[in-house]
Amino acid sequence: AIHRARRPTLGIARCRAVGGGVVLLAGCDFVLAEATATFGLPAMVWGFVPAAIWPLVTARIGAGRARTWAMTAFARGAIEAQAAGLVDEIAPPDRLATAAARAVRHLARIDRDAIALLRSWSLESAALPVAEAIARGAALSARQLADDRVKARLESFFVDGALPWEGGT
């Protein structure tokens, strides 16, 4: 459902996120965490591999790091989770609401069609050899730049300085 959302998704971690909580965050477009939040993948302690969540977690933090997190089952703090790429921004508990409001304002500017396209392209390109992903990505970018709606927005910006999120095209 997260990958089909027509709007950007914001994940907020306030305390402990483990297993399924980590995958929900990994699937979000932007993750905000309180400085005291912790993150972990403890499934293997219980004797099973976190296979169902693996694609989203590895897409977010990389296969090597995800494997280490799963094999060690350590709880990681917000700073380590940010360094790993799971968390995008850390806020003190008393500033979390302000940081969340700012993130919502920024995410609301993103074009809905571009969101869907980026999500599908991210999954598709990850499975391709690098050279093929670059070639297909260049072709996708060329198609997007030829789109009348995109051209109108760019022209409006370059000619009038109009920004799409401020009432421009």
Q: How far apart are CA 116 and CA 130, in angstroms?
A: 22
CB 121 within 8 A of CB 137: yes
The stretches in the chain having pLDDT less than 70 are 167-169
Residue 160's pLDDT is 84
**Per-residue pLDDT at 167:** 60
CA geometry: angle 57, 85, 87, nearest 5 deg: 95
Say whether pTM exceeds 0.85: no
Cα Rg, the chain, nearest whole Å: 18
Find residue 35's DSSP bridge partners.
none
Inter-residue contact 96 to 12 (CB < 8 Å): yes
Q: Phi and psi dihedrals of 40, rounded to 5?
A: -165, 160
The pLDDT assigned to 80 comes to: 97
Q: Which helix (H) or strand (E) holds 14?
A: none
Q: What is the pLDDT of residue 99?
A: 96
| Closest of 163, 121, 167 to residue 144, by C-alpha | 121
